[in-house]
């Protein structure tokens, strides 16, 4: 029997194709599969003998066969099973195989890295997690080496499958979701919630970035798999609470935009849709700053003259992004995009300034300070013709800011006069601008509570006096006349109120005396009057 076992078992192990499911069935049932597993070279009689022997002593042979397959390297299991399904043994290194076989081995390693683990519990699969990390590191080094050769279609497909399996997932709850209130967004000191799987996710993102920028990646082949659905899933991940993940996504999406020209209109449209949902529906998104940073680079590369599509994007998406109250989280990137548009097309300055005035904050002082800083940047790139179209509504708003009781708002508005370009524009149009701001400056110089604002106001007044003394004197005379008229109106109103108060007091006194006199003259009538009043009130 022992000699017979030695005779038949090599034929079984050499000719049998084993998969996990069928192997488990044979181990549990103790019966070998009889579906033509024996090799054709053994012949019909050999197969019959092997079947008879396996029927009599199947469990022992099944156990030995299982141990034999487990002892084989994982690359042999891969060739047997079609793809690796475990990290029982590592695959050979990509450097240790001939260049003709590397892409096939790369595919098997990509399939292996498609297996995901639960990182919320560090005690689960520690060995497998470490082996996956080592495999991902090897993949990153290999794709960065520049010795891969042109990646074929199978590799591109497996790359996208592996990346999709790892990064396209349900995001962990953010800090605002756990707090149950959007007010948590204002707490800049609050730490974001970090994904416990980030050590592995970082390697996957790094591999995807190296794959996209690699010269061995053929865009014509890769675009079939890095498609619109893949881009949309990447954009969904921008709402991650982890800033490290958003930073990788920003870089990868920008590289995709640069490499796959066919996807450019779709990416811009998809970003627009995210902005629309944020502005008009949720006002909640973690990745607005990163998306605007990508758009800043994209806008910088727009060809001239600007397409109508790009101008509509400015009017419908970028300018309304000033509306949400949490604009401070992404205002720096938004301001850069706006100024890029103005630099590209100077005629857009009027549109942008009027758009800012439309969304100018009323009660949010910190937001006003941001708007004033952005307005200064826009005015620096504004020419005289565009400035004249919007200077009246602009300086009416600036006059209100000069009179603000919040010292930072008034101070930031006064700092505009330190900009030489803005002062030149004001000097060219002083006949219109000076009457608009004179009253605010005069009130600040007389009664503003903050000493810094008071000193800055005096400096601006001195500048305007030197700019046009006659116009300044005329404005001052007109201001004093208006103040006198206003004082006369106020005195009349106060006198009228005093007369009304006196008449009301006299009338109430006479009415009270009459009621007391009538009550003392006829008590019964007084009682019946009181009871009738109570009855009427009940009715």
Task: For residue 260, name the pLDDT band (cuts at 50, 70, 90).
Answer: very high
Task: Taking residues 440-463, report their average pLDDT.
Answer: 92
Task: For residue 186, name the pLDDT band (cuts at 50, 70, 90).
Answer: very low
Q: 310 vs 519, which has greater pLDDT? A: 310
DSSP helix/strand/coil, 326: coil
Question: Of 70-79, 123-132, 182-191, which one has max mean pLDDT?
Answer: 123-132
% of the chain residues with pLDDT over 90: 55
Rounded to 10°, the helix 288-300/243-259 angle is 30
Task: Taking residues 417-440, report their average pLDDT.
Answer: 94
Give the pLDDT of residue 141.
92
Give the pLDDT of residue 461.
92
Q: 3 vs 464, which has greater pLDDT? A: 464
Give the pLDDT of residue 174.
65
Task: Taking residues 280-304, report their average pLDDT.
Answer: 93
Q: Which residue has the tokens 């397959």?
A: 69
Residue 79, pLDDT above cutoff 60: no
- What's the rounded Cα separation, in Å, for the pair 115 and 166? 8
Task: Taking residues 282-286, report their average pLDDT.
Answer: 90
Mean pLDDT of the chain: 79
Q: 365 vs 38, which has greater pLDDT? A: 365
Residue 40, pLDDT above cutoff 50: no
Specify the range with the lowest mean pLDDT, choosing from 171-180, 232-241, 262-271, 519-528. Answer: 519-528
Give the pLDDT of residue 196.
80
- Burial label for 329, CB within 10 Å (0-12, 13-18, 19+), is middle
CA-closest candidate to residue 27, choices 72, 79, 70: 70
Q: Would you say the C-alpha torsion 221, 222, 227, 229 has a positive or negative sign?
A: positive
Residue pLDDT, tens place only, 192-214: 677 788 888 999 999 999 999 99
Give the pLDDT of residue 420.
94
Residue 42, pLDDT above cutoff 70: no
Give the pLDDT of residue 316.
94
Task: For residue 223, name the pLDDT band (cuts at 50, 70, 90).
Answer: very high
Give the pLDDT of residue 187.
45
For 131, residues 6+ apart whose C-beta sits below 8 A from its C-beta are: 87, 90
% of the chain residues with pLDDT over 70: 74
Specify the range with the lowest mean pLDDT, choosing from 134-143, 150-159, 179-188, 421-430. Answer: 179-188
Alpha helix positions (H), 381-522: 384-402, 407-415, 420-428, 430-447, 451-467, 469-521
Task: Taking residues 458-481, report their average pLDDT.
Answer: 92
Give the pLDDT of residue 402.
94
Residue 215, pLDDT above cutoff 80: yes
Task: Taking residues 39-56, report their average pLDDT.
Answer: 37
For 111, residues 6+ apart whose C-beta sits below 8 A from its C-beta are: 78, 83, 84, 158, 161, 162
Query: φ and ψ at 363, to 5 degrees?
Result: -120, -5
Specify the range with the lowest mean pLDDT, choosing from 14-23, 330-339, 439-448, 470-479. Answer: 14-23
Give the pLDDT of residue 62.
37
Give the pLDDT of residue 178.
54
Task: For residue 533, name the pLDDT band (cuts at 50, 70, 90).
Answer: very low
Q: 122 vs 482, which has greater pLDDT? A: 482
* pTM for this entry: 0.73
Residue 20, pLDDT above cutoff 50: no
Give the pLDDT of residue 171.
78
Task: Taking residues 427-436, report their average pLDDT.
Answer: 94
Q: 230 vs 74, which has greater pLDDT? A: 230
Residue 85, pLDDT above cutoff 50: no
Specify the range with the lowest mean pLDDT, choosing from 125-139, 336-350, 394-408. Answer: 125-139
Question: Is the separation of the CB atoms in 384 and 425 below 8 Å?
Answer: yes
DSSP result, 288-304? HHHHHHHHHHHHHT--S
């Amino acid at each position: 029997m022992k000699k017979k076992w030695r005779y038949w078992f090599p034929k079984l192990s050499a000719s049998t194709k084993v998969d996990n499911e069928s192997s488990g069935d044979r181990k549990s049932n103790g019966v070998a599969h009889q579906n033509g597993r024996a090799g054709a070279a053994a012949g019909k009689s050999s197969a019959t003998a092997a079947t008879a022997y396996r029927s009599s002593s199947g469990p022992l042979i099944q156990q030995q066969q299982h141990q034999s397959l487990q002892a084989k390297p994982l690359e042999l299991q891969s060739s047997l099973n079609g793809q690796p399904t475990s990290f029982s043994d590592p695959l050979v290194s990509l450097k240790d195989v001939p260049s003709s076989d590397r892409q096939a081995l790369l595919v098997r390693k990509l399939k292996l890295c498609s297996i995901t683990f639960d990182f919320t519990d560090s005690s689960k699969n520690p060995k497998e997690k470490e082996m996956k990390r080592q495999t991902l590191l090897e993949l990153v080094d290999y794709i960065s080496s520049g010795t891969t050769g042109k990646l074929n279609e199978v590799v591109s497909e497996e790359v996208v499958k592996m990346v999709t399996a790892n990064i396209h997932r349900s995001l962990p709850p953010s800090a605002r979701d756990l707090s149950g209130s959007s007010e948590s967004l204002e707490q800049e000191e609050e730490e974001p919630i970090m994904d416990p799987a980030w050590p592995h996710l970082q390697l996957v993102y790094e591999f995807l970035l190296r794959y996209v920028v690699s010269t061995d990646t053929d865009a014509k082949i890769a675009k079939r798999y890095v498609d619109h659905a893949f881009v949309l899933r990447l954009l969904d991940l921008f709402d991650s609470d982890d800033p490290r993940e958003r930073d990788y996504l920003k870089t990868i999406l920008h590289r995709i935009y640069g490499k796959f020209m066919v996807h450019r209109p779709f990416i811009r449209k998809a970003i627009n849709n995210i902005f629309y949902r944020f502005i008009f529906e949720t006002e909640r998104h973690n990745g607005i700053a990163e998306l605007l940073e990508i758009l800043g680079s994209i806008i910088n590369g727009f060809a001239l003259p600007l397409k109508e599509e790009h101008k509509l994007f400015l009017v419908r998406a970028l300018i309304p992004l000033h509306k949400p109250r949490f604009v401070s989280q992404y205002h720096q990137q938004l301001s850069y995009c706006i100024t890029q548009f103005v630099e590209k097309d100077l005629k857009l300055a009027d549109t942008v300034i009027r758009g800012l005035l439309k969304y100018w904050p009323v009660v949010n002082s910190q937001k006003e300070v941001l708007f004033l800083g952005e307005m200064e940047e826009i005015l620096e790139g504004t020419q005289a013709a565009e400035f004249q179209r919007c200077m009246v509504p602009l300086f009416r708003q600036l006059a209100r800011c000069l009179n603000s009781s919040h010292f930072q708002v008034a101070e930031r508005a006064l700092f505009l006069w330190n900009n030489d370009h803005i002062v030149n524009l004001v000097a060219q149009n002083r006949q219109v601008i000076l009457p608009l701001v004179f009253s605010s400056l005069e009130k600040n110089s007389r009664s503003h509570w903050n000493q810094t604002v008071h000193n800055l106001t005096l400096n601006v007044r001195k500048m305007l006096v030197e700019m046009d003394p006659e116009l300044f004197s005329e404005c001052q005379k007109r201001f004093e006349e208006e103040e006198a008229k206003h004082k006369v109106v106020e005195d009349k109103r106060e006198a009228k109120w005093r007369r009304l108060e006196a008449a009301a007091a006299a009338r109430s006194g006479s009415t009270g005396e009459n009621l007391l006199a009538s009550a003392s003259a006829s008590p019964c009538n007084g009682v019946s009057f009181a009871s009738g009043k109570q009855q009427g009130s009940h009715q």
